[in-house]
Chain A
Amino acid sequence: MTRLDENNNEIDLECRDLRRTFGNFVAVDNVSFGVPKGDFFSILGPSGCGKTTILRMMAGFLEPTSGDIIIKGKSMLNVPPNKRPVNMVFQHLALFPMMSVAENIAYGLVRQGMNKSDTATKVKSALERIGLPGSGDKSIKQLSGGQQQRIAIARCLVLEPAALLLDEPLGALDLKLREHMKVELKKMQNQFGTTFIYITHDQSEALVMSNHVAVMNEGRFEQIGTPQELYYHPDTSFVAGFVGDSNRWHGKVDAIDGSVIRVSTSDGISLLSVPAGGEKLVVGDEVDIFVRPESIIIAHDEARAQEMDNRLSGNVVSVLFNGANSRALVRESKTGGELDVALPQTGEFSGLSAGQQVFLGWGKQQSKAFASVNSPTNKGHGG
């Protein structure tokens, strides 16, 4: 029986109530998700949240404590790794250094019992598809980091797996190559049409490449959605804080007017917000408010920010110039709190410098309030 997702795509790979404990420690806590065929699905979460544990259970290197993994409609429990129709790209690639490039790519084909000439043709065409024709006789050490990356992926893709599992494959690369490989990986996935399950703690990797992203925290999935959904409509304060940058306040609900709430923050300002977490908020509830740097309007004169629901003024502490992604750090005049504000690309603020007074404003829809969960992992990540 094949299952379909909401868009009638065939579900290729599914985890049901997957759970894994190490002693008393719950590394993966009842995680359920389905990945449609051909999807680029990312699992995004901070270090130690259990991402690798999920992936290793799918690959067959770890037994789940409970729950089920279904690939192509078949349960994978008690199926050894070498019999599963998924392949894994390891964090440090795990290319075989004692073999040539061609032997590495042929490894799985030979294990399947494919004959010599077919193997050679397949290896040759794989090398062409990843843009490394004629590199078959090279040794692994002769290749650059990015080339090794492509070999590691090609080695799995020639086996035409139901899904490719990638465990932070870009983690070992330097920044520049990483940016390049993001585009490259996405291209490769399109070209081969294979389902990718991609693990990362880098939100920009997940947002740029994926069709769907699951945000994971402490063994559980906080939210599954498209990158846009996660960015614009986070379900939990963890997601709001982890995906993208945010300015963040902690406060108490003062008044509720329909779908709008007034919050007085702990540093003494009053902000209009909308509840975003789906919880029912009442007056007196503790909440966290998140505002994206790019939702904040910055102006030299007070009139421009006047029509906004939330208004603040302050002085520029520093300008963080980064081309199109330039930001200003502004110290709010009443409370002394610092805000991260994106600078518009109109050139109006190209002369902005430290010490200047600016006026800030944003709409109530742009400030999202979540009922406060007082756990330490909910801190940080804000702008």
Chain B
Amino acid sequence: MNTQTASRLGLILLLAPLLVWLTALLILPHVDMLLISLRERVAPQVYERSFANYTEFFIEPLYWRTFARTAIMSISATAITLLIAFPVSYYIAKMLRGRSKSFLFLLCLVPFWVSELVRTFGWMILLRESGVVSNVLQWAGLVDGPVEMLYNDAAIMVGLVYTSMLFMVVPLVSILDSLDDSLVEAGYDLGGNGFTVMRTIIIPHAMPGIVSGCIVVFMLTLGNYLTPILLGGKSSMWFTAQIYTQFITRFNWELGAAFGFLLLALSTIIVWTGLKLSRQTLSETMG
């Protein structure tokens, strides 16, 4: 056996587990889901191929409203996360040096050492009617009775932004770290002010990091289940909850599968639009 075939065999053997994993866990379930979403139950145990599940989504206002609301909330959460994370990342990457830099960066990581469930319960302890914030407000005399801060959109937003922060800060810090200080200085030297230097030099440089952070945060938010349900309660109207209901409560796998594919399509379209608007390519932002 010559070395070339040997190395090729080695490559195949190396790739084999990955291929098995991809096929078994990603491709097969998705193909199966697609098939399920494209059938309609006409009688017990009898199925027919049809688009009925997809048409149902557009006919029933609750479904597509939830869908639209989830998309808008996710986009807003992504935008808010970016607005908060950018100055934080800039401060960490450009203003700090040495010890304090790694310390602050670590501080952003700390909340992620506990599970999302625990973190979300933490927010519930703070925001509920008998919670910390409510008690502090009463003690300070700012409100008369207990206030309920859970189960509204603001609570959902707080939870989502909090959960997503790290995934925005990490790519931003690393891309801002790679910005040569002398470029910023050259911007000022040539007559730029804080605003124009930010707009013409810092943001264009950080664009791949901004876009990749936004993609990750948007996907995580759109597919999030725990945070909207726990902090938003019944009023959360999150699309993943709708999928859950179809699969688990209603035992309507056909509709649930269709919803799953619609969510996939939605996130693909929004990410694609985002890339086009920011004139970035996927390979550039992820590479």
Name the distance in Å between B203's Cβ and chain A's nearest Cβ.
10
A59 CA / B185 CA spacing, docked (Å): 10
A148 CA / B183 CA spacing, docked (Å): 14
- Binding site secondary structure of chain B: helix
Q: A92-B180, A98-B205 are in contact. Are A159 and B185 (CB under 8 A)?
A: no
Cβ-defined contact, B180 with A107, below 8 A:
no
0 or 1 for each of B183-203: is its CB under 8 Å from A? (1 = yes)? 101111111110010001100
Within residues 90 to 106 of chain A, which ones have a CB less than 8 A from any CB in chain B?
Answer: 90-92, 94, 96-99
Cβ-defined contact, B204 with A155, below 8 A:
no
0 or 1 for each of A59-97: is its CB under 8 Å from B? (1 = yes)? 111000000000000000000111000011011101011
A280 within 8 A of B: no
Cβ-defined contact, A96 with B192, below 8 A:
no
Cβ-defined contact, B204 with A87, below 8 A:
no
Q: A92-B180, A111-B196 are in contact. Are A82 and B189 (CB under 8 A)?
A: yes
Cβ-defined contact, B183 with A94, below 8 A:
yes
Cβ-defined contact, B204 with A156, below 8 A:
no
Report A-chain residues with C-beta under 8 Å of the C-beta of B189. 59-60, 81-82, 87-88
Cβ-defined contact, B188 with A80, below 8 A:
yes
Q: Quick one: which of B180, B191, B205 contacts A82, CB cutoff 8 A? A: B191
The count of A-to-B residue pairs whose CB atoms sit within 8 angstroms is 55
Report A-chain residues with C-beta under 8 Å of the C-beta of B188. 80-82
Q: Quick one: which of A61, A98, A155 contacts B185, CB cutoff 8 A? A: A61
Within residues 156 to 188 of chain A, which ones have a CB less than 8 A from any CB in chain B?
Answer: 156, 159
Name the distance in Å between B46's Cβ and chain A's nearest Cβ.
61
Report B-chain residues with C-beta under 8 Å of the C-beta of A88. 185-186, 189
Name the distance in Å between A95's Cβ and chain B's nearest Cβ.
8
Within residues 145 to 201 of chain B, which ones have a CB less than 8 A from any CB in chain A?
Answer: 180, 182-183, 185-193, 196, 200-201
Q: A82-B193, A87-B190, A156-B190 are in contact. Are A107 and B200 (CB under 8 A)?
A: yes
Q: A92-B180, A98-B205, A111-B196 are in contact. Are A159 and B190 (CB under 8 A)?
A: yes
Question: Number of contacting residues on B, CB 8 A?
Answer: 17
A112 within 8 A of B: yes
A108 within 8 A of B: yes
Cβ-defined contact, B192 with A94, below 8 A:
no
Report A-chain residues with C-beta under 8 Å of the C-beta of B201. 96, 98
A112 CA / B180 CA spacing, docked (Å): 24
Cβ-defined contact, B185 with A81, below 8 A:
yes
Cβ-defined contact, B182 with A111, below 8 A:
no
Cβ-defined contact, B190 with A111, below 8 A:
yes
Report B-chain residues with C-beta under 8 Å of the C-beta of A112. 191
Report A-chain residues with C-beta under 8 Å of the C-beta of B196. 111
Cβ-defined contact, A98 with B180, below 8 A:
no
Name the distance in Å between A286's Cβ and chain B's nearest Cβ.
44
Report A-chain residues with C-beta under 8 Å of the C-beta of B186. 88, 90, 94, 96
A112 CA / B192 CA spacing, docked (Å): 9
Cβ-defined contact, B191 with A90, below 8 A:
no
A60 CA / B188 CA spacing, docked (Å): 10
Name the distance in Å between B210's Cβ and chain A's nearest Cβ.
13
A228 CA / B189 CA spacing, docked (Å): 34
9 further A-B contacts with Cβ under 8 Å, apart from A88-B189, A98-B205, A99-B200, are A59-B189, A61-B185, A82-B192, A92-B182, A96-B183, A96-B201, A107-B187, A111-B192, A159-B191
Chain A to chain B: the 8 pairs with minimum beta-carbon distance, closest first? A111-B191, A108-B190, A94-B186, A94-B182, A98-B204, A90-B182, A81-B188, A82-B188
Residues on A facing B (Cβ under 8 Å): 59-61, 80-82, 87-88, 90-92, 94, 96-99, 107-108, 111-112, 155-156, 159
Residues on B facing A (Cβ under 8 Å): 180, 182-183, 185-193, 196, 200-201, 204-205
What are 18 A-B contacts defined by CB distance under 8 Å?
A60-B189, A61-B185, A81-B185, A81-B188, A81-B189, A82-B190, A87-B190, A88-B185, A88-B189, A91-B182, A92-B182, A94-B180, A94-B182, A94-B183, A96-B183, A96-B186, A108-B190, A111-B196
